[in-house]
Amino acid sequence: MDIREIFVELRTWTPYLAGGFLWNIIISFVSMTIGTLIGAVIAFMRASDEWIVRRPGNVLTEFSRGVPTFVFLFYLAYLLPSEVAVFGTVLPVPSWVKASLALSIAVVGFVSDNLSIVIRDWRAGRRESAVLFLPSWTTYFLIIVMSSSTASVIGVSEIVSRANTVIGAINKDHMMIWIYLYAMTWFFCFCYPLTLAMNYLKEQMKRRLWVAQTS
> The pTM is what?
0.88
* CATH number of the domain bearing residue 194: 1.10.3720.10
pLDDT on residue 213: 67
Range of the domain at 36: 3-210
- The pLDDT of residue 95 is 92
Measured between alpha carbons, how far is 85 from 93 in angstroms, rounded to an integer? Answer: 10
Q: Mean pLDDT, to the nearest integer, of 69-86?
A: 81
Question: Does 215 fall in a domain?
Answer: no
Q: What is the mean pLDDT of residues 185-214?
A: 84
Per the structure, the count of domains in the chain is 1
Long-range contacts at 167-170 (CB < 8 A, ≥ 24 apart):
170/9
Letter for the amino acid at 207? R
Q: Does residue 156 lie in a domain region?
A: yes
d(CA 213, CA 115): 22
Within 10 Å of residue 153's Cβ, how many Cβ atoms? Answer: 15
